[in-house]
Structure 1
Amino acid sequence: MAKHAEEKKFLEFSRRHVLGLMGSSAAAIGFGLPGRAYADDQEIVKSHGYSYFGDLKYSADYKHFNYVNPDAPRGGQIVLSARGKFDTLNRFARKGDFAAHSGLTGESMFATGPFGTAIPSDSLTDSYGLLAHTIEYPKARDWVIFHMRPEARFYNGTPVTAHDALFSYNLFLEQGIPGLQALMKQRIIGVEVLDDHTIKYSFVDGISRRSLLELAGGLDIFSKDWYEETGERLDEPSLQPPMGSSPYSVADFEINSYVVYKRNPDYWGYHLPINVGRHNYDRVRVEYFADSAAEFEGFKAGDFNFRVEGSTKRWATGYDFPAVENGAVKREALPSERPPNGTGFIFNFQEEKFQDLRVREALQLAFNFEWTSASLQYGLTTQRHSYVENTEIEATGLPEGAEKAFLESLGDLVPEEIFTTEAVRAHASNEATLVDRRNKRKALRLFSDAGWEVNDQGKLENVDGEVFTLKIMMHSATSDTSRAIITNYVNNLNDYGVEASIDKVDSAQAQQQFIDKEYEMLLHANRPFETSGIGLLQRHGSETADESSHNLQALKSELVDAIIYASLDATSREEEVVSLKALDRVLRYLRIQVPVGYVADNWVAYYDMFGRPEKLPAMSVGYLDFWWINQDKYDALKASGAVR
């Protein structure tokens, strides 16, 4: 399932009154800039970056990130693959399928990875200035001022100014994805240009200060003049990507076939420490394929040169072709220090039949992880119990200490079972047979308790004579392994008495149904949460349940809401960990999905023409960010005919 920005509007919070800045004639204190006045009780922070809880990893005089090779050569081309189709280069459009990596065109006040990489990749909480060289804010975080780099330039050579930043803010407010519009309205009360390279964002009073600076600092900034000259709209599909200022821009494309991004040799920001050792490819090309089989054949033929492998079957049996045997292609299992994606069969809670916790538990019992891993995935997957597996946030055993005290503070919202039963773990199944009879008996008891009995035809039926039906949506470009997992789960459900089937949909249809939540279940992933932030409200908050495509389950839970809001108000990392551990515990108790396990490492295969730092950072493999082309190796592969 292609990732897509929200297409439906959040329910807005009430707009609260604005907290006025007091004492406008008072002398500037702390780190305030000369000539600007602040209240005498406001401590002003001025910095090259931002970290919510305290010290930044990198000081103001840092030369480069620790994990990059500052002497990495620039040049060459990495060629990637994608499955499906695309018909727009504007990722903010409300319709259509946008091209892979088409979001790289814009830059923001804080640095973000143009190809989706965390920046920096060795810190969970830090943000560093890119278009802004300095940020300025009071300890209370009522507002933030960004001091922009005067040397920043758009692709066409025109300066990036505060006027462009204000225009872009208003553009998102008027034409942006509705979910983002609401998010901005809920939190940003006003934006003011102070001079050509200085802009101030003021925040709504009475809400959590968490993520406010990141929200303002993460908005893409586009050229005001370009939009006015072209008449382009942010919300409509277009084959003209918005005019941005990043190191890469679209150089060539053919709809549904390929897209090429070219590194700008005149990019304004190469001299910045934040960019040293990064953006090393001259060109990034993405080749499109109809399905996973054609895609892999393309890799074997050298049509693309870097592959992230997601198929256990292919990893176990597919890499026996000549290019692997003669060393032209390398395979690596790179250790991951991040929690795995929470992949599983997602319940859409808009469906009445999923409202009963007993039904969800019964449907979980119908999935046999052990058989699936052994029979379909060559034993290469690990059972997943938590949404933050193998981290300090993972809930274990009974709640104790600070976590117990935190849960007790939430009063009657917390079911007694949370305190008296250990954190929910995925059930065990018989590896030797798809249908585990013990789990089936337990599931049928749960169905019965929820009002579903097996009728004479072997189908689950309620007192009104309605049969329990279930459709699992499946994208036409779904991999062979995922298809097999879905098919066997459906077979098991039918054995249990559920009238289950697969709803096969093409790329465009799947995208729209995903956005509109027109599915009962689908195989997808809940993102792990290592820190708090307003993203948790998007993914699990009640306000977003019916509207946000990020809230996959359409989850509405007062308890979950209370935990998220508490995490947003945490005043230390220790408090944050306690609240997020409680969130993990409660989401598992609510059984919001059927977990399917995970691969512990990052599997990559590539033609042996790349260089990378010896020690990779914890948060990213970084092949699109800080790897590079080894020209001698490439020349040898080219001469041998291994690559095209």
Structure 2
Amino acid sequence: MARPILLLLILLALPALRPACAEVPEHGAPTHGIAMNAGVTHGIAMHGDLALPPDFTAFPYVDPAARKGGTIRQAVTGSFDSLHPHIVKGVPALGLGHVFETLLTRSWDEPFSLYGLLADRVEVAGDRSAVTFRINANARWHDGTPVTAADVLFSLEMQRRHGTPNRRLFYAKVAAAEAPDPQTVRFAFASNADGTIDREMPLLMGLMPIHSKAFWEGRDFNRTTLEPIMGSGPYRIATVDPGRRIVYERVRDYWGRDLPTRLGQFNADRLEFDYYRDDSVALEAFKAGQGDVRYESDPAKWATGYDGPARRDGRIVREELPNRRPEPARGLIFNTRRPIFADLRVRRALGMATDFDWIGRSLFHGLLTRTASYYPNSDLAARGLPEGEELRALEPFRDRLPPELFIRPFTLPDGGTGSGPAGLRANRREALRLLEQAGWRVRDGRLTDAAGNRFAFEILLSDPSEERVALEFTRSLEPLGIDARVRTVDSAQFQGRLDRLEFDMTMRWWASSLSPGNEQLYYYGSEAAGQEGSRNLAGIRDPVVDALARSIAVATTRAELIGRVRALDRVLLWGHYMVPLFHSPVDRIARRSTLHRPVNTPLYGPMLESWWVAP
């Protein structure tokens, strides 16, 4: 599936392009940096110190002199039925993150650090039990009215009542919210059950999407809508063809264009997203000149699909750009709410039956790496045996974890290449042994339980390009007597079934930043397992997972954080909640030669909002 560069994950919406401009702001003088109270730095870092000084003028991965103007077009797959990205209902259009803003914004060259955006001052309590934001006096909605503390408090109320489950989970920790004056808002946080304070909460409040209270008067915040919603960001919606096309135009008098956190970004005058039902058609549209940039997630298309006149004469440029972020942990995810997948032995057995080495060579041209972590491609991934901070995090739960976890590194089954067909046959014999232990037997070529019920399930997909792997997986289960079927539905139906948790198995992913925190409970926590729209697709309900995921947000040092994330990673791996697939160690990007990028690539990989169009 085509997607905007850097599927981040993480954090609360799909990313897309963003442009800026350099004219003098209409409302007052530009504000550079964040002025802080004595003893408080000019931003918030989750751990350690901020990388940028108080007088920084721009992020190091942008070109402050980037050319303004032109159009950036993307040919994407799927559909959309809503322009409201901050509720559970509907499938929002790509690019809406450019319409809405937050109090603070991330530096993508640091694991988790925030600098000023709508807020130009921030004060954090020493124990992180409270945070105070001073709203920039220049901050304006697109109708020219000021952004106020009342808008921030309204946004918190709406997110707590109607936001996605992860936001409702986070913002429930706000014990008190007040506005001492129209430009100041203060949040105090409740203690955890053990008396600790969630150290991530000041940053999460800084990343809360802010909505206009006045705009929503007389409107229902909890309904999908195709009416453009007023924001304060660098773009507004220009035209919409529901499900097919959306166009954004740069806000000419954008209030924040000269902020150091905005300079050199949001450079195109227009952003256009054209939707296609099939990614192969989207690729052909790009090659034919109907798109300017494409993130290629399919190695087969990267290897063979871009040949043509435009590439040969230099109009299309292809690049493989390395990054140091965790890649999405993609896999065939078991819905453990289904009785047939409730037994760990069954889940482990199904992961042993497929020759993934052959799949990697044949379907992906050897360009992908088999995923063996929930945080692949990063130093957060568990490796070897637990030691140091990781072992300290695991030790209290030793009696509730499999003994092998402490004495044997987690490894994926040999898919067959390393030990030949005999190795794959041995894996399948072991899989049958595990299935028999779980109460399943092969009778007349069919795997059944004691009551004669056949082991059968459905794999739910939304992208036809995913069918190749899913079908190979189902074929590999036939020798075990398992009846697995693949069903591909449109994106709206797919998302609806995921939201309602109505599936047996699906091909999906979990994505994390270099500084995981509260979202880990949303991904893997017991409370999230029963929530509609939850990202705990696997239905994980494990007190050990809950405790480890909760401990990550209260880590006080980077070393402590890494150890706790590795501990969680190891426990999830030994839980066999998915059959891991593959990830790419680089970003593969094709672009028109007229689309240019800065010299520096940030820690998280290329950021399209810093690119520009030049003839």
1:568 Cα offset (Å): 2.6
3-state SS of the aligned residue for 1:606?
Answer: strand
Give the direction of change, closer, same or farther, for the CA distance of 1:149–1:95 in structure 2 (3 Å limit): same
Distance across 2 between alignment mates of 1:4 and 1:133: 25
Look up the match of 1:618.
Answer: 603
Are the aligned partners of 1:424 and 1:589 in contact in 2 as well (CA < 8 Å)? no
Q: RMSD between aligned alpha carbons?
A: 2.3
Q: Paired residue for 2:360, among 373, 398, 408?
A: 373
Match among 254, 260, 273 for residue 260 of structure 2: 273
What's 1:184 paired with?
171
Aligned pairs, how many? 582
CA distance in 2, matches of 1:528, 1:170: 26
Partner letter of residue 393 of structure 1?
Answer: L
Instruction: With the length of structure 1 as denominator, give the TM-score of the two structures.
Output: 0.86
Secondary structure at the counterpart of residue 275 of structure 1: coil
Are residues 1:74 and 2:68 paired? yes
Partner Cα separation in structure 2 for residue 56 and residue 606 of structure 1: 33
Q: Give the one of 195, 199, 216 matched to 1:210.
A: 199
Question: Is the 8 Å Cα contact of residues 245 and 272 (structure 2) preserved in structure 1?
Answer: yes
Aligned residue for 2:435?
A: 447
User: CA contact under 8 A between 2:393 and 2:548: conserved in structure 1?
Assistant: no
> In the alignment, what sits opposite 1:609?
594
- Output the CA distance in 1 between the equivalents of 2:511 and 2:599: 28
For 1:405 and 1:163, the matched residues in 2 are separated by: 44
Task: Output the CA distance in 2 between the equivalents of 1:498 and 1:485.
Answer: 17
CA deviation after TM superposition for structure 1 residue 325, in Å: 1.2
Larger relative contact order (Cα-Cα within 8 Å, sequence gap ≥ 6): 2
Deviations 1:105-144 (A, max 9, x none): 2111112xxxxxxx31100121111111111122012211
Partner of residue 525, structure 1? 509
Q: Report the alpha carbon displacement of residue 384 of structure 1 after superposing the two structures with TM.
A: 1.9
Is this contact kept in 1: 2:324–2:378, CA < 8 A?
A: no
Answering whether residue 486 of structure 2 is matched by residue 497 of structure 1, we say: no
Structure 2 distance, partners of 1:178, 1:549, is: 6
Question: In the alignment, which residue of structure 2 is the partner of 1:507?
Answer: 491
| Partner residue, 2:213 | 224
- Render the CA deviation track for 1:361-415: whole Å, top value 9, x for unaligned: 1110122211111221222222221222343322222223443233223342333
Secondary structure of the equivalent of 1:261?
strand
Provide the residue aligned with 2:149 in structure 1: 162
Aligned-partner Cα distance in 1 for 2:47–2:185: 24
The 2-side partners of 1:343 and 1:171 are apart by 32
Give the conservation status (yes or no) of the 8 Å contact 1:349–1:355: yes
Report the Cα distance in structure 2 between the residues aligned to 1:226 and 1:109, rounded to whole angstroms. 18
1:635 alignment counterpart: none
Tell me the equivalent position of 1:538: 522
- Counterpart contact for 1:192–1:200, Cα < 8 Å: yes
Measured in 2, the distance between the counterparts of 1:237 and 1:434 equals: 54
Alpha-carbon deviation of 1:291?
Answer: 0.9
2:23 corresponding residue in structure 1: none
Match of 1:324 in 2: 311
Out of 264, 283, 299, which is 1:296 matched to?
283
SS in 2 for 1:412: helix
Query: Residue type of the partner of 2:223?
Result: E
Residue identity opposite 1:523 in structure 2: M
Change (3 A) 1:102 1:269: same
Q: Which residue of 2 aligns with 1:354?
A: 341
Kindly tell me: are residues 435 and 240 of structure 1, through their superposed partners in 2, closer, same or farther at Cα, counting changes over 3 Å?
Answer: farther
Point out where structure 1 has 5 or more consecutive residues left out of the alignment. 7-30, 34-43, 112-118, 633-644
Residue 511 and residue 132 in structure 1: after superposition, are their counterparts in 2 closer, same or farther (change >3 A)?
same
Give distance in 1, aligned partners of 2:277 and 2:423: 34
How far is the alpha carbon of 1:102 from its aligned partner? 2.0
- Could you say if the C-alpha distance between residues 207 and 405 of structure 1 is closer, same or farther in structure 2, counting changes exceeding 3 Å? closer
Shift of 1:5: 12
Contact 1:81 1:307 (C-alpha < 8 Å) held by counterparts: yes
* CA distance 1:496–1:210, change in 2 (3 Å): same
Distance 1:408 1:369, change over 3 A: same
Could you tell me how far 1:289 is from its partner in structure 2? 0.9
Most deviating of 95-104 and 329-338: 95-104
Shift of the 488–47 alpha-carbon distance from structure 1 to 2, 3 Å rule, reads same
What is aligned with 1:37? none
The 5 Å alignment of 1:393-472 reads 393-430=380-417, 436-456=424-444, 458-472=445-459
Aligned to 2:183: 197
What's the TM-score, normalizing by structure 2? Answer: 0.90
In the alignment, which of 383, 386, 402 is matched to residue 373 of structure 2?
Answer: 386
Q: In the alignment, which of 43, 48, 72 is matched to residue 42 of structure 2? A: 48
**Structure 2 CA distance for aligned equivalents of residues 440 and 401 of structure 1:** 36
Contact residue 45 and residue 139 of structure 1 kept, 8 A: no
**What is the letter of the counterpart of residue 210 of structure 1?**
R
CA contact (8 A) 1:369 1:597 kept: no
Q: Is the 8 A contact 1:94 1:237 kept in 2?
A: no
**C-alpha displacement of 1:443:** 1.1
Mapped contact 1:368–1:435 kept (Cα < 8 A): no
Kept in 2: contact 1:83–1:292 (CA 8 A): yes
* Contact 2:166/2:534 (8 A) holds in 1: no
**The one of 541, 558, 569 aligned to 1:584:** 569
Cα distance between partner residues in 1 of 2:36 and 2:301: 58
> Where do 1:255-266 residues align within 5 Å?
255-266=242-253
Report the secondary structure of 1:159's partner residue: coil
Q: Kindly provide the amino acid, as one letter, of the partner of residue 202 in structure 2.
A: L
* 8 Å Cα contact 2:9-2:513 kept in structure 1: no
Q: 2:116 aligns with which of 129, 151, 158?
A: 129
- C-alpha change, 1:144 and 1:400, in structure 2 (3 Å) is closer
1:305 counterpart = 2:292? yes
Deviation at 1:4, TM superposition (A): 13
Structure with larger Rg: 1
- SS of 1:287's partner is strand
8 Å contact from structure 2 (residues 464, 488) kept in 1? no
- SS of corresponding position for 1:410: helix
The aligned residue for residue 555 of structure 2 is 570
Does the CA-based 8 Å contact 2:8-2:512 persist in structure 1? no
Of residues 89, 92, 111, the one that matches 1:98 is 92
SS in 2 for 1:302: helix
Structure 1 outlier segments of 4+, above 6 Å: 1-6, 431-435
Aligned AA (1:598): H
Equivalent residues of 1:385, 1:426 under 8 A apart: no
Query: How many Å apart are 1:46 and its aligned residue?
Result: 3.0
Does the 8 A contact of 1:424 with 1:588 survive in 2?
no
Q: What letter matches 1:203 in structure 2? A: F
Deviations for 1:30-74, whole angstroms, at most 9, x for unmatched residues? x996xxxxxxxxxx8533210132311111111111111111111
Q: Which amino acid aligns with 1:513?
A: R
1:342 matched to 2:329? The reply is: yes
Structure 1 range deviating more: 429-438 or 198-207: 429-438
Distance 1:407 1:168, change over 3 A: closer
SS at match of 1:439: helix
CA contact (8 A) 1:210 1:533 kept: no
Output the CA distance in 2 between the equivalents of 1:244 and 1:47: 28
1:485-511 deviation line (CA, Å, top 9, x unaligned): 111111111232111111232222111
1:63 lines up with 2:57 in the alignment: yes
The 2-side partners of 1:120 and 1:314 are apart by 32
Partner SS, residue 47 of structure 1:
coil
What is the identity, as a one-letter code, of the residue corresponding to 2:203? E
Query: Helix, strand or coil for the counterpart of 1:301?
Result: helix
